[in-house]
Chains A and B, each alone.
Chain A
Amino acid sequence: QSVLTQPPSESGTPGQRVTISCSGSSSNIGSRTVNWYQHLPGTAPKLLIYNNNQRPSGVPDRFSGSKSGTSASLAISGLQSEDESDYYCAAWDDSLNGVMFGGGTKLTVL
């Protein structure tokens, strides 16, 4: 069981807006920044959001991140078929003294 909790799956239709939640605690999300990664199995994972809401160069502004208290969210607007992938949140955990990943959310574009 992951320290950071994500829904196992989410889905949406093209053009729709979807959000993926990530719930943690005071020792991780509550006191540290959250990063989000996109991963298509068999390929290299990709950094989507860092420092809660910052997008690396090249990441479309359809992707946005937010954090409130011990929870964080990734929002994807204008959903596209190529967004179908696995998404992971991650944060440093001060109690475990290491990086924690959420269990991952499989996004399906219907």
Chain B
Amino acid sequence: EVQLVESGGGLVQVGGSLRLSCTTSGFTFSLNAMNWVRQAPGKGLEWVSSVSGSGGSAHYTDSVKGRFTISRDNFNNTLYLQMKSLRAEDTAIYYCAKDRSYDYDAFDMWGQGTMVTVSS
């Protein structure tokens, strides 16, 4: 059974940093691209970042470029999102999502999410 479990969310001040983790099991982690998607309170889903199966290729939405870094540990089957210079508008539930393929295709499994609250 495929499982994705996010952790690392919490309350942080504007300008602060946080690292999210997504621990996975039930599939060959290195064969699938991985993603972070967020949902701000009262808003829709927003893609944040993607990383290819090898970790060699990453993409970011414009609003987080230069502040967020996606990475993966294919030995420990874990996805990360390092978030710096956090802003109030980064407040959201952050979901980890597995892609169907090695590069972007479709997000076929999702975690339950971890809440990040950025407070001034």
Contact = CB atoms under 8 A, between A and B. Distances in A.
A35 interface: yes
A2 B46 CA distance: 9
A90 B46 CA distance: 10
A69 to B, nearest CB: 20
Contacts of A102: 44
Chain B CB within 10 A, most for which of A2, A47, A50, A51: A47
Interface stretch (B21-29, B68-76, B110-118): B110-118
Interface residues of B, number: 25
Chain A interface secondary structure, helix, strand, loop or mixed?
strand
Chain B CB within 10 A, most for which of A35, A44, A101: A44
A47 B60 contact: no
B105 interface: yes
A44 B110 contact: yes
A100 B100 CA distance: 17
B62 interface: yes
Contacts of A100: 47
A101 to B, nearest CB: 5
Interface residues of A, number: 27
B50 A104 contact: no
Interface in B44-93: 44-47, 50, 59-62
Interface of B: 35, 37, 39, 44-47, 50, 59-62, 95, 97, 100, 104-113
25 contacts: A37-B107, A39-B45, A43-B112, A44-B95, A44-B110, A44-B113, A46-B110, A47-B106, A47-B108, A50-B106, A50-B108, A56-B108, A86-B44, A90-B47, A90-B106, A96-B62, A98-B47, A98-B59, A98-B61, A99-B47, A99-B104, A100-B47, A101-B37, A101-B44, A101-B47
